[in-house]
């Protein structure tokens, strides 16, 4: 599914820029909380210590989304982070991207986190690519509409000519009936 089709599937609204920004942040699939918590543990980034507190290199960062993420990973019954949706994807992506920009995680770690959710298929999407996909879809729709119109006209022409033939009309009358069917008369 291309990015424009995905935007339709998600029901995205707004300008191309707004839709592209959302699409760039989404993963292909939801992120398994158990897979993510295992990865964060093995990297020493975030884990629950014996004292029941969140530990690891990310535990000192004050970020309300990270607090929410820790809650989802370690206390909620949720088994997935819906990073493939417009509700969670942009916030999740922004959090991981900010951790990368601040040097708190490496590019490899960032890529690994997104890979848990199948990666970000539209991460490098540009507004030009999105506009081209939309234009292609509109053109394809217009072509299909034209083809459907020709099919409808040819069916009417065939039915009218056949009725004229069955009525015993002359070749000229059959042709005229077919033409009238084509014209919708």
Cα–Cα dist 135/131, whole Å = 6
In this prediction the pTM is: 0.66
At 103-148, the pLDDT tens digits run 888 999 999 999 999 999 999 999 999 999 999 988 887 888 888 8
At 73-106, the pLDDT tens digits run 766 666 888 889 998 889 889 888 888 888 888 9
**Of 69, 98, 10, 83, which Cα lies nearest the Cα of 18?**
10
At 136-179, the pLDDT tens digits run 988 887 888 888 888 899 999 999 999 999 999 999 999 999 99
Dihedral over Cα of 87, 101, 33, 3: its sign: positive
Cα–Cα dist 125/129, whole Å = 7
């Amino acid at each position: 599914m291309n990015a424009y089709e995905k935007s339709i599937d998600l029901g995205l609204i707004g300008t191309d820029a707004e839709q592209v920004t959302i699409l760039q942040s989404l993963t292909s699939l939801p992120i398994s909380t158990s897979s993510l918590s295992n990865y964060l543990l093995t990297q020493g980034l975030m884990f629950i210590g014996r004292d029941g507190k969140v530990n690891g290199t990310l535990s000192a960062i004050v970020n309300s989304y990270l607090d929410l993420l820790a809650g989802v990973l370690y206390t909620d019954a949720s088994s997935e982070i819906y990073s493939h949706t417009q509700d969670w994807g942009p916030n999740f992506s922004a959090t991981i991207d900010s951790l990368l920009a601040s040097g708190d995680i490496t590019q490899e770690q960032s890529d690994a986190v997104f890979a848990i959710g199948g990666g970000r298929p539209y991460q490098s999407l540009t507004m030009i690519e999105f506009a081209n996909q939309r234009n292609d879809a509109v053109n394809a729709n217009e072509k299909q509409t034209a083809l459907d119109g020709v099919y409808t006209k040819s069916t009417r022409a065939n039915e009218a000519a056949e009725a004229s033939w069955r009525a015993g009309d002359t070749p000229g009358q059959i042709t005229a009936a077919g033409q009238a069917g084509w014209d919708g008369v």
